[in-house]
C-alpha cells in the first residue's frame, strides 16, 4: 500500500482498528475457514483504510462490517460460487463439511455449535453471527447486509429455527415442519 | 401448533427490537400463550448456548501484524509535530516486548527467524502502545535522575548517559519485570525520532553487533560487560550505529 496520509492513518487507527476482531469473526463465519478469513479480512480492512475518507461519521463498526461482508461475498462468488447458489435452499446442508453424523459424534459443545452454524446457508449464518455473537441491532444488520429490516427479522427467525433443528439432530424435518 | 402471533413479533420481542408499546402488548400476550412462552425459553437457551460455547473468533495476532505493517509510516516520513514524551514512553513500554523476544531467543536460531520474529513483535508492540493504559517510568534528561530511578529497581549497573552533545537526547526510561528478570528501556531522541535501547543482564561473553531492519524499523543488538543491548528505532541505520558506539565507549 502506498504511503498513508497521517490524518488518514489516525482515523483508521481510531475508527477501524477497534473492530479488527469483529471483522475477522464475521469473515471466519462467512467463509468457514480461518486461513481464508484472515486473507479476506485483511483485504477488507485495507480497503476500509483506502476508503477512510469516505466515512463521514456514524457507526464505524457497521461500516467496517459492511465492507468485510461485501469482500467476503465477492470472494465467495469468485472462489466458491456453489455456496451462494444454494443459499435459499433450506434443505441443502451438504455445502458444509459438517453433516448430521459428524455433528452427532462431535463431543465438544463448542464444536457441535460450530458445525451446526456452518451448516446454515451463509445468509442465515451471517444474521445469526451478527445478532448473537456481535450483538448488532436489526438496524445495524440491515445496514451491514443491505437487506430490509423485515427480511432481517424473518431471516433471524428462520436461522434460529434451523439452528435449533440441526442441533436437535433432525435437520430438515423439523425445519420443514416449522416453515 | 405454533401461535400465529409468534413468528416475527416473538423474535423482535426477544431481541428487544419492539417499540415499548408493542413490547408491552406482546408481553401481555406471552403471559397467556404457552407456545410463545416456551418458544422464548428456547430462544434464551439457544442464546446462552452460543454465548457459553465461546465460539466468537477473535482476530489472530498475525492479522493485526499485517494490518499495522501496511499502515505504519515509512521510515522517511517526518512527523508533523513531536509526539508527547509520554507517548514515547508508552511506545517504549510496548517495544520492551521486543526485548522479551530477544530474551527468549535461543542461540541457535537463524538470523532470518530472529529478524522476522523481532519485526513482528515490534509491529505488535507498536499497536499495543497505541492502547490507553498506565505508563510508569521516568521522564527526565538528567542522567543522574534516570540512573537513580533505575538503581532502586534493577539489580545491575545500567549505564545511563545523555548524549545531547552528539544529537541523542536522553528522554527518560522505563522498566518491566518478566519471569523474574528486569529489562530496562532507555529512551533517546534523535532529530525528533524515538530510539529505545533495551538493556538486560546476560551471563554470555561480549558479542559484536548484529543489525537488521524490517518494515522501516532498524535494530542493532550487542553484548558487552555482561549486558545485552538492543537499540530499536526508525531512524537511519547510521544514527543507530552512532548511538551504539557512544553507548559502547561509555559503558
Taking only the tens place, the pLDDT of each residue in B203-237 is 778 888 988 776 667 788 889 998 888 888 877 88
Check CB contact under 8 Å for A157 and B8.
Answer: yes
Reading the block at residue A123, the C-alpha cell is: 445468509
- pLDDT at position A32 over 70: yes
Give the pLDDT confidence score for residue B176 in this predicted structure: 59
Rounded to whole angstroms, what are the CA distances from B139 to B43, B125, B154, B250?
55, 20, 17, 22
pLDDT, tens digit (0-9, with 9 covering 90-100), for B27-51? 998 898 888 898 899 999 999 999 8
- pLDDT at position A173 over 60: no
Domain count, chain B: 2
CA distance B197 to chain A (A): 26
Kindly report the number of other CB atoms within 10 A of residue B164's CB atom: 13
Give the pLDDT confidence score for residue A86 in this predicted structure: 58
Same domain, B97 and B15: no
- pLDDT at position A147 over 60: yes
Kindly report the number of other CB atoms within 10 A of residue B241's CB atom: 15
Q: Could you tell me if residue B116 is inside a domain? A: yes
Give the pLDDT confidence score for residue B171 in this predicted structure: 87
Reading the block at residue A22, the C-alpha cell is: 469483529
Reading the block at residue A64, the C-alpha cell is: 467496517
Give the pLDDT confidence score for residue A51 in this predicted structure: 84
Same domain, B206 and B158: yes
* Domains of chain A with bracketed CATH: 1-83 (1.10.1740.10), 86-179 (1.10.10.10)
Same domain, B72 and B41: no
Same domain, B182 and B133: yes
A164 shares contact with chain B (CB less than 8 Å): yes
Give the pLDDT confidence score for residue B153 in this predicted structure: 78
- pLDDT at position B59 over 90: yes
Give the pLDDT confidence score for residue B97 in this predicted structure: 64
pLDDT, tens digit (0-9, with 9 covering 90-100), for B75-86? 544 444 555 666
Same domain, B182 and B73: yes
**Residue A30 near residue A105 (C-beta atoms within 8 A):** no
Query: Which range of residues forms the domain containing residue B19?
Result: 6-52
Residues in chain B whose beta carbon is closer than 8 A to a beta carbon of chain A? 2, 7-8, 10-12, 15, 17, 42-43, 46-47, 49-60, 62-64, 66-67, 70-71, 73-74, 77, 79-80, 127, 130
Same domain, B40 and B118: no
- A14-41 mean pLDDT: 95
Residues in chain A closer than 8 A to B8 (CB atoms): 150, 153-154, 157
Residues in chain A closer than 8 A to B49 (CB atoms): 109, 113, 167
What gap in Å lies between CA B105 and CA B50, rounded to an integer? 40
What gap in Å lies between CA A115 and CA A154, rounded to an integer? 22
Give the pLDDT confidence score for residue A25 in this predicted structure: 96
Tell me the pLDDT band of B102, cut-offs 50, 70 and 90: low
The rounded mean pLDDT for chain B is 77
Same domain, B45 and B134: no
Kindly report the number of other CB atoms within 10 A of residue B197's CB atom: 27
Amino acid at each position: 500500500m502506498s504511503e498513508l496520509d497521517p490524518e488518514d492513518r489516525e482515523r483508521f487507527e481510531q475508527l477501524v482498528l477497534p473492530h479488527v476482531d469483529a471483522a475477522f469473526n464475521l469473515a471466519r463465519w462467512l467463509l468457514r475457514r480461518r486461513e481464508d478469513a484472515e486473507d479476506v479480512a485483511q483485504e477488507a480492512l485495507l480497503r476500509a483504510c483506502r476508503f477512510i475518507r469516505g466515512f463521514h461519521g456514524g457507526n464505524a463498526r457497521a461500516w467496517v462490517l459492511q465492507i468485510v461482508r461485501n469482500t467476503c461475498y465477492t470472494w465467495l462468488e469468485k472462489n466458491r460460487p456453489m455456496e451462494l447458489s444454494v443459499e435459499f435452499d433450506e434443505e441443502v446442508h451438504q455445502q458444509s463439511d459438517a453433516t448430521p453424523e459428524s455433528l452427532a459424534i462431535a463431543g465438544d459443545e463448542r464444536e457441535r455449535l460450530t458445525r451446526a452454524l456452518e451448516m446454515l446457508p451463509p445468509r442465515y449464518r451471517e444474521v445469526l453471527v451478527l445478532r448473537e455473537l456481535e450483538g448488532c441491532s436489526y438496524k445495524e444488520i440491515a445496514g451491514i447486509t443491505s437487506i430490509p429490516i423485515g427480511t432481517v427479522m424473518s431471516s433471524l427467525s428462520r436461522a434460529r429455527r434451523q439452528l435449533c433443528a440441526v442441533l436437535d439432530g433432525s435437520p430438515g424435518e423439523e425445519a420443514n415442519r416449522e416453515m | 401448533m405454533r401461535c400465529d402471533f409468534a413468528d416475527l413479533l416473538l423474535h423482535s420481542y426477544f431481541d428487544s427490537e419492539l417499540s415499548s408499546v408493542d413490547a408491552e402488548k406482546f408481553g401481555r400476550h406471552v403471559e397467556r400463550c404457552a407456545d410463545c412462552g416456551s418458544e422464548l425459553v428456547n430462544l434464551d437457551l439457544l442464546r446462552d448456548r452460543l454465548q457459553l460455547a465461546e465460539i466468537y473468533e477473535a482476530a489472530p495476532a498475525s492479522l493485526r501484524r499485517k494490518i499495522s505493517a501496511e499502515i505504519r509510516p515509512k521510515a522517511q516520513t517526518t512527523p508533523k509535530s513531536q509526539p508527547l514524551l509520554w507517548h514515547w514512553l508508552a511506545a517504549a513500554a510496548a517495544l520492551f516486548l521486543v526485548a522479551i523476544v530477544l530474551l527468549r531467543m535461543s542461540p541457535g536460531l537463524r538470523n532470518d527467524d530472529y529478524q522476522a520474529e523481532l519485526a513482528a513483535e515490534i509491529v505488535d508492540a507498536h499497536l499495543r502502545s497505541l492502547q490507553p493504559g498506565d505508563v510508569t517510568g521516568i521522564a527526565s534528561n538528567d542522567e543522574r535522575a534516570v540512573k537513580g530511578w533505575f538503581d532502586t529497581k534493577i539489580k545491575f549497573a545500567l549505564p545511563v548517559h545523555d548524549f545531547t552533545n552528539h544529537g541523542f537526547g536522553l528522554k527518560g526510561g522505563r522498566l518491566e519485570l518478566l519471569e523474574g528478570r528486569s529489562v530496562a528501556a532507555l529512551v533517546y531522541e534523535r532529530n525528533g525520532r524515538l530510539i529505545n535501547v533495551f538493556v538486560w543482564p546476560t551471563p554470555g561473553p561480549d558479542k559484536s553487533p548484529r543489525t537488521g531492519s524490517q518494515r522501516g524499523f532498524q535494530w542493532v543488538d550487542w553484548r558487552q560487560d555482561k549486558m545485552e543491548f538492543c537499540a530499536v528505532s526508525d531512524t537511519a541505520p547510521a544514527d543507530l550505529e552512532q548511538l551504539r558506539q557512544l553507548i559502547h565507549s561509555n559503558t
